[in-house]
Amino acid sequence: MHTLTLPAPAKLNLWLHIIGRRADGYHELETVFQFLDHGDELSFAVRDDGAIRLHTEIEAVPHDSNLIVRAARMLQAQSGTMLGADIWLTKILPMGGGIGGGSSDAATTLLALAHLWQLDWDEDRLAALGLSLGADVPVFVRGHAAFAQGVGEQLTPVDPIEPWYVVLVPQVSVSTAEIFSHPQLTRDSLPLKMRPVPEGNSRNDCQPVVEQSYPEVRNALNSLGKFTEARLTGTGSCVFGAFPSKAEADKVLALLSATQTGFVAKGSNISMLHRKLQSLIKKSSA
Protein backbone atom coordinates (compact mmCIF):
# COMPACT_ATOMS: atom_id res chain seq x y z
CA MET A 1 0.00 0.00 0.00
CA HIS A 2 1.53 3.33 -1.08
CA THR A 3 -1.35 5.76 -0.36
CA LEU A 4 -3.52 6.06 2.72
CA THR A 5 -6.36 8.33 3.88
CA LEU A 6 -7.10 8.51 7.61
CA PRO A 7 -9.16 10.67 9.98
CA ALA A 8 -7.73 12.92 12.69
CA PRO A 9 -10.50 13.00 15.31
CA ALA A 10 -11.37 15.76 17.73
CA LYS A 11 -11.18 15.26 21.49
CA LEU A 12 -12.96 16.70 24.48
CA ASN A 13 -11.62 17.28 27.96
CA LEU A 14 -14.64 16.09 29.93
CA TRP A 15 -13.13 17.95 32.89
CA LEU A 16 -9.76 19.53 33.66
CA HIS A 17 -8.11 20.14 37.03
CA ILE A 18 -4.83 22.00 37.46
CA ILE A 19 -3.09 20.66 40.53
CA GLY A 20 0.19 22.55 40.41
CA ARG A 21 2.93 24.26 38.44
CA ARG A 22 6.31 22.65 37.90
CA ALA A 23 9.68 24.37 38.12
CA ASP A 24 9.95 24.27 34.31
CA GLY A 25 6.73 26.26 33.97
CA TYR A 26 4.56 23.36 32.80
CA HIS A 27 1.36 22.62 34.71
CA GLU A 28 0.47 19.35 36.41
CA LEU A 29 -3.02 18.32 35.27
CA GLU A 30 -5.70 15.76 35.81
CA THR A 31 -8.23 15.39 33.02
CA VAL A 32 -10.33 12.89 31.09
CA PHE A 33 -9.99 12.74 27.30
CA GLN A 34 -12.74 11.36 25.10
CA PHE A 35 -12.79 11.33 21.29
CA LEU A 36 -15.44 12.58 18.88
CA ASP A 37 -16.46 10.95 15.61
CA HIS A 38 -15.66 14.24 13.88
CA GLY A 39 -12.37 15.65 12.68
CA ASP A 40 -9.84 16.46 10.00
CA GLU A 41 -8.80 14.04 7.25
CA LEU A 42 -5.29 13.44 5.94
CA SER A 43 -4.08 11.62 2.84
CA PHE A 44 -0.54 10.29 2.45
CA ALA A 45 1.48 9.05 -0.51
CA VAL A 46 5.00 7.62 -0.24
CA ARG A 47 7.86 9.44 -1.96
CA ASP A 48 11.14 7.74 -2.85
CA ASP A 49 13.25 10.90 -2.65
CA GLY A 50 12.91 11.48 1.11
CA ALA A 51 11.09 14.83 0.74
CA ILE A 52 8.22 15.72 3.09
CA ARG A 53 5.62 17.90 1.36
CA LEU A 54 2.36 19.14 2.87
CA HIS A 55 0.33 20.31 -0.12
CA THR A 56 -2.36 22.12 1.90
CA GLU A 57 -1.61 25.65 3.05
CA ILE A 58 -2.81 26.63 6.52
CA GLU A 59 -3.23 30.36 7.08
CA ALA A 60 -0.64 31.84 9.47
CA VAL A 61 1.18 28.49 9.83
CA PRO A 62 4.40 28.23 7.76
CA HIS A 63 4.92 24.86 6.04
CA ASP A 64 7.94 23.85 8.09
CA SER A 65 6.28 24.86 11.40
CA ASN A 66 3.15 22.77 10.84
CA LEU A 67 2.89 19.91 13.34
CA ILE A 68 2.14 17.53 10.47
CA VAL A 69 5.45 18.31 8.78
CA ARG A 70 7.36 18.34 12.07
CA ALA A 71 5.90 14.94 13.03
CA ALA A 72 6.78 13.43 9.65
CA ARG A 73 10.34 14.76 9.69
CA MET A 74 10.90 13.70 13.29
CA LEU A 75 9.71 10.15 12.57
CA GLN A 76 11.84 10.10 9.43
CA ALA A 77 14.95 11.19 11.32
CA GLN A 78 14.42 8.86 14.30
CA SER A 79 13.66 5.82 12.15
CA GLY A 80 16.39 6.39 9.58
CA THR A 81 14.08 5.71 6.65
CA MET A 82 15.06 7.05 3.24
CA LEU A 83 11.39 7.44 2.24
CA GLY A 84 9.39 10.65 2.23
CA ALA A 85 5.72 11.59 1.84
CA ASP A 86 3.24 13.80 0.04
CA ILE A 87 0.50 14.86 2.46
CA TRP A 88 -2.88 16.51 1.90
CA LEU A 89 -5.07 17.88 4.70
CA THR A 90 -8.82 18.48 4.74
CA LYS A 91 -9.09 20.92 7.64
CA ILE A 92 -12.33 20.75 9.61
CA LEU A 93 -11.32 21.40 13.24
CA PRO A 94 -10.81 25.02 14.34
CA MET A 95 -7.43 26.28 15.51
CA GLY A 96 -7.32 27.31 19.16
CA GLY A 97 -10.56 25.47 19.83
CA GLY A 98 -9.33 23.11 22.55
CA ILE A 99 -10.44 20.03 20.60
CA GLY A 100 -7.01 18.88 19.55
CA GLY A 101 -6.78 19.72 15.85
CA GLY A 102 -3.02 20.13 15.51
CA SER A 103 -2.16 17.37 17.98
CA SER A 104 -4.56 14.96 16.31
CA ASP A 105 -3.14 15.75 12.87
CA ALA A 106 0.37 15.04 14.20
CA ALA A 107 -0.69 11.71 15.73
CA THR A 108 -2.43 10.60 12.53
CA THR A 109 0.73 11.50 10.62
CA LEU A 110 2.91 9.39 12.94
CA LEU A 111 0.62 6.35 12.71
CA ALA A 112 0.05 6.66 8.97
CA LEU A 113 3.72 7.02 8.06
CA ALA A 114 4.83 4.28 10.44
CA HIS A 115 2.38 2.07 8.54
CA LEU A 116 3.30 3.25 5.03
CA TRP A 117 7.04 3.26 5.66
CA GLN A 118 6.70 -0.21 7.22
CA LEU A 119 8.50 0.80 10.40
CA ASP A 120 8.67 -1.66 13.25
CA TRP A 121 7.54 0.92 15.80
CA ASP A 122 5.07 0.08 18.55
CA GLU A 123 2.52 2.43 20.09
CA ASP A 124 4.74 3.23 23.09
CA ARG A 125 7.56 4.44 20.88
CA LEU A 126 5.25 6.53 18.71
CA ALA A 127 3.56 8.05 21.77
CA ALA A 128 6.94 8.99 23.28
CA LEU A 129 7.94 10.68 20.02
CA GLY A 130 4.56 12.42 19.91
CA LEU A 131 5.03 13.86 23.40
CA SER A 132 7.96 15.92 22.12
CA LEU A 133 5.52 17.55 19.67
CA GLY A 134 2.79 18.32 22.23
CA ALA A 135 1.28 17.05 25.47
CA ASP A 136 -1.98 15.98 23.76
CA VAL A 137 -0.34 13.97 20.97
CA PRO A 138 0.12 10.70 22.97
CA VAL A 139 -3.59 10.22 23.69
CA PHE A 140 -4.34 10.48 19.95
CA VAL A 141 -1.54 8.00 19.19
CA ARG A 142 -2.98 5.52 21.69
CA GLY A 143 -6.57 6.08 20.60
CA HIS A 144 -8.43 5.16 23.79
CA ALA A 145 -10.33 7.51 26.12
CA ALA A 146 -8.09 8.14 29.09
CA PHE A 147 -7.62 9.65 32.52
CA ALA A 148 -4.50 11.79 32.11
CA GLN A 149 -2.00 13.03 34.69
CA GLY A 150 1.31 14.89 34.55
CA VAL A 151 1.21 17.38 31.68
CA GLY A 152 -1.38 15.09 30.08
CA GLU A 153 0.95 12.30 28.98
CA GLN A 154 0.42 9.77 31.82
CA LEU A 155 -2.60 7.91 30.47
CA THR A 156 -4.90 5.35 32.08
CA PRO A 157 -7.65 3.98 29.79
CA VAL A 158 -11.20 4.73 30.94
CA ASP A 159 -14.65 4.08 29.47
CA PRO A 160 -17.04 6.95 30.20
CA ILE A 161 -20.51 6.96 28.70
CA GLU A 162 -20.61 7.81 24.98
CA PRO A 163 -23.34 10.43 24.51
CA TRP A 164 -24.05 12.70 21.59
CA TYR A 165 -22.51 16.13 21.98
CA VAL A 166 -23.37 19.59 20.75
CA VAL A 167 -20.07 21.44 20.32
CA LEU A 168 -20.23 25.19 19.82
CA VAL A 169 -17.32 26.90 18.09
CA PRO A 170 -17.03 30.60 19.03
CA GLN A 171 -15.21 32.51 16.29
CA VAL A 172 -12.15 33.22 18.38
CA SER A 173 -8.82 31.42 18.86
CA VAL A 174 -7.79 31.04 22.50
CA SER A 175 -4.06 30.94 23.27
CA THR A 176 -3.09 28.08 25.59
CA ALA A 177 0.02 29.99 26.69
CA GLU A 178 -2.09 33.03 27.58
CA ILE A 179 -4.50 31.01 29.72
CA PHE A 180 -1.82 29.00 31.52
CA SER A 181 0.11 32.19 32.36
CA HIS A 182 -2.96 34.11 33.55
CA PRO A 183 -2.50 35.38 37.14
CA GLN A 184 -6.07 34.43 38.10
CA LEU A 185 -5.81 30.81 36.94
CA THR A 186 -6.52 28.34 39.76
CA ARG A 187 -3.56 25.99 40.19
CA ASP A 188 -4.28 24.25 43.49
CA SER A 189 -6.93 21.60 42.80
CA LEU A 190 -6.46 18.50 44.94
CA PRO A 191 -5.42 15.31 43.12
CA LEU A 192 -8.17 12.72 42.83
CA LYS A 193 -7.79 9.75 45.15
CA MET A 194 -10.68 7.64 43.84
CA ARG A 195 -10.15 4.90 41.25
CA PRO A 196 -11.78 4.41 38.87
CA VAL A 197 -12.19 8.08 38.11
CA PRO A 198 -15.69 9.18 39.15
CA GLU A 199 -18.23 10.22 36.52
CA GLY A 200 -19.68 13.70 36.55
CA ASN A 201 -16.66 15.55 37.92
CA SER A 202 -17.06 18.23 35.29
CA ARG A 203 -15.18 21.32 36.47
CA ASN A 204 -12.63 22.89 34.12
CA ASP A 205 -10.24 25.10 36.09
CA CYS A 206 -9.47 27.13 32.94
CA GLN A 207 -13.10 28.03 32.27
CA PRO A 208 -13.43 31.11 34.55
CA VAL A 209 -10.32 32.70 33.04
CA VAL A 210 -11.38 31.95 29.45
CA GLU A 211 -14.89 33.29 30.12
CA GLN A 212 -13.44 36.47 31.58
CA SER A 213 -11.05 37.03 28.68
CA TYR A 214 -13.30 35.97 25.79
CA PRO A 215 -16.94 37.16 25.87
CA GLU A 216 -17.68 35.02 22.79
CA VAL A 217 -16.95 31.90 24.85
CA ARG A 218 -19.06 33.15 27.76
CA ASN A 219 -21.96 33.76 25.37
CA ALA A 220 -21.65 30.24 23.95
CA LEU A 221 -21.63 28.71 27.43
CA ASN A 222 -24.72 30.71 28.39
CA SER A 223 -26.55 29.74 25.17
CA LEU A 224 -25.87 26.01 25.44
CA GLY A 225 -26.38 26.11 29.20
CA LYS A 226 -30.08 26.77 28.68
CA PHE A 227 -30.44 23.17 27.45
CA THR A 228 -27.81 21.12 29.34
CA GLU A 229 -24.69 21.52 31.45
CA ALA A 230 -22.26 23.42 29.21
CA ARG A 231 -18.52 23.06 29.68
CA LEU A 232 -15.30 24.34 28.18
CA THR A 233 -12.92 21.81 26.63
CA GLY A 234 -9.21 22.18 27.36
CA THR A 235 -7.90 25.73 27.16
CA GLY A 236 -9.60 26.44 23.85
CA SER A 237 -12.71 28.25 22.75
CA CYS A 238 -15.07 25.33 22.09
CA VAL A 239 -17.83 24.47 24.55
CA PHE A 240 -19.87 21.29 24.68
CA GLY A 241 -22.90 19.66 26.23
CA ALA A 242 -24.07 16.03 26.28
CA PHE A 243 -27.38 14.65 25.01
CA PRO A 244 -28.79 11.10 25.07
CA SER A 245 -29.63 10.98 21.34
CA LYS A 246 -28.60 12.49 18.04
CA ALA A 247 -32.14 13.78 17.50
CA GLU A 248 -32.04 15.81 20.73
CA ALA A 249 -28.57 17.17 19.96
CA ASP A 250 -29.60 18.12 16.41
CA LYS A 251 -32.70 19.88 17.73
CA VAL A 252 -30.70 22.00 20.18
CA LEU A 253 -28.09 22.95 17.59
CA ALA A 254 -30.85 23.98 15.20
CA LEU A 255 -32.32 26.23 17.88
CA LEU A 256 -28.92 27.83 18.52
CA SER A 257 -27.85 28.14 14.87
CA ALA A 258 -29.12 31.69 14.51
CA THR A 259 -26.47 32.97 16.92
CA GLN A 260 -23.91 30.16 17.29
CA THR A 261 -21.73 28.04 15.01
CA GLY A 262 -21.23 24.40 15.94
CA PHE A 263 -21.64 20.74 15.15
CA VAL A 264 -23.09 17.51 16.53
CA ALA A 265 -20.84 14.48 17.08
CA LYS A 266 -20.90 11.14 18.86
CA GLY A 267 -18.56 10.60 21.78
CA SER A 268 -16.31 7.58 21.33
CA ASN A 269 -13.91 5.79 23.67
CA ILE A 270 -12.04 4.27 20.72
CA SER A 271 -10.98 6.90 18.22
CA MET A 272 -12.21 6.67 14.65
CA LEU A 273 -8.56 6.75 13.57
CA HIS A 274 -7.86 3.50 15.39
CA ARG A 275 -11.08 1.91 14.19
CA LYS A 276 -10.03 2.72 10.61
CA LEU A 277 -6.50 1.37 11.15
CA GLN A 278 -7.83 -1.85 12.70
CA SER A 279 -10.14 -2.30 9.70
CA LEU A 280 -7.21 -1.83 7.29
CA ILE A 281 -5.06 -4.32 9.19
CA LYS A 282 -7.85 -6.91 9.16
CA LYS A 283 -8.32 -6.47 5.40
CA SER A 284 -4.61 -6.79 4.68
CA SER A 285 -4.30 -9.96 6.75
CA ALA A 286 -7.44 -11.60 5.35
Q: Where in the sequence numbering do the catalytic residues fall?
A: 11, 136
Known binder of ligand: residue 98?
yes
CA angle 100, 106, 107 (to 5 degrees): 85
HEC assignment per residue over the chain: CCEEEEEEEEEEEEEEEEEEECCCCCEEEEEEEEEEEEEEEEEEEEECCCCEEECCCECCECHHHCHHHHHHHHHHHHHCCCCEEEEEEECCCCCCCCCCHHHHHHHHHHHHHHHHCCCCCCHHHHHHHHHCCCCCHHHHHHCECEEEECCCCEEEECCCCCCEEEEECCCCCCCHHHHHCCCCCCCCCCCCCCCCCCCCCCCECCHHHHHHHCHHHHHHHHHHCCCCCCEECCCCCCEEEEECCHHHHHHHHHHHCCCCCEEEEEEECECHHHHHHHHHHHHHHC
Instruction: Establish whether 101 is an annotated binding residue.
Output: yes
Half-sphere exposure of 176 (CA within 13 A, CB side): 15
Q: Is 94 annotated as a binding residue?
A: yes
Residue numbers in the known binding site for ATP are: 94-104
Binding residues are 94-104
